[in-house]
Structure 1
Amino acid sequence: MIPGTWPTRALVVVLILANLGFLAWRQGWLDTLAPGGLQPAGASQREPERLQRQIHPERLIVVPAPLAGTSAASAADPAAAPSARPASSADAAASVSTSSASIPTASLASATLDTGAACYQAGPFTTEEHRRVSTALSQQLPTGSWTTQTVSAPGLWLVYMGPYQDPEMLERKQIELRRIRNLNFEEVRSPPSLAMGLSLGRFNQQAQAEASLETLRLRGVRTARVVTIRPAADLMVIRIPLASAEIQRRLPALPLPAGKGFAACTT
């Protein structure tokens, strides 16, 4: 026998036996050798041993994951969860009921509005005209249904020639003015006091009209003059912001100055 061979063989045999024992232990082949097996308590996770170690498996209840809005108190106390859910349902029902109850109220409020209401205005009026119109409105329309707004009306001045006695004289004067190069003019038909006359310019400021007249005189226009058509003044506009169908029916019968009746608001 070769020296040193026997110890080596014995070591190999021991290693093989150890590996076989470890394999048998891992596979559970040794569990039947002693009550409860050779594995540590709770180590085996194989069937059916794992099922046999369960205590009252029939009492197991699968609980779904809590919703995001579930309170911490409900999660800590499972017994309170069933009662919490009906309460939430009741709250939701109450909320729906409250919203439903508010809808008829809003509908009733909107029903009181006249869907045919529109804005109407009349004017502009002078101070005296406004006084007369206000008196008539106070007798025909509900109190507070109309308002008064003050607007600034620019004046109007003409550089004017005339009036002339007959159309022939008016025509001769127009022939004379056409001989002046680049001179613009027009026939005046209103107001009646200035009919049969000629306008050589319209201006919103009297000073501008006077300056234009001086320029025309330098060009040979001798008989022209400045006339006032309308001085600058503060006028008044009457507005009915929400004229109902009934008020609109009454508006045409109101006594207003000619050309200043009620019409739909422009702004």
Structure 2
Amino acid sequence: MALVLVLANALLLAAQLGVFEPLTAASNAPPQREPERLQRQVHPEWVQILSADAASAALRAAAASASQAAQPGACLEAGPFADTEAEAAQRTLRDAGITAAAWQAIRTEDGGAYMIYMGRYPDRELLQRKQAQLKRLKLPTEELRDNAALQPGLSLGRFNSKPAADAALARMVQRGLRTARVVTLRPAQGQTVLRLPAADATLRARLAGLKMPSGPGFGDCAAEASAAAASQPGASAAAPAAASAAASGAAPAVVPAPVAASATAAVAASAASAADIRPPAARSATASR
């Protein structure tokens, strides 16, 4: 037994000393033992020994760089810009050295914002009386509180296009409504959105420093922002309420000067009594006299 152990140790020592390398390696293969291997090092002066903290920081930086490079491009957009601002916004991108292939100019037509309106009334008492009459006709009303040029007055609905507002007013007239009219809150106009469908980290950093003609600058594309909001807890319950709010009052209450002037001129005509709102039956009876 002792003889076997001695032979095993002798074989192990011979292997470590390279006695068997000529038998196991190719004849032209360089020896893989010290100090020959050390002599074959290429630029050993480039090797640096780092402390534990420095090594950890280097690993974190490398991991962050790799993660950033692996991230797909994000969709960013700015706007919408009015026709008078669109060219200036595009020039801002060109001056920043962002190639035309990286972004898109998407133009849409904004139909404007319109409202079915009654007023102005000389006092709140008459306004409340009209509101009660409209309630009996089962017509929805909203007292205006965000537009001094049309107050005191009533809104019977807001719409994103004039044809839709005109059609709604025609239906209300058939139910007995009088003296209401469609006013323009925001005229129809063209709008342009600048979109970068695949902005990498470097491009996102450059966009963050740009000052656009209006608005906050570049942010997540509308579709991606909506998807992110929908993924939040409770989003499904909040969505109908948000949509209803947008449909009823999303349009900004900006009234052009001609509308404000006509609203002021209509005070006398609109300050009529309850006869301004009559059911169809009452109108027929009046006509037959």
Which TM bucket (shorter chain)?
A: 0.3 to 0.5
The TM-score normalised by the length of structure 2 is 0.43
Higher Rg = 1
Point out the structure with the larger helix share: 2
TM-score normalized by the length of structure 1: 0.46
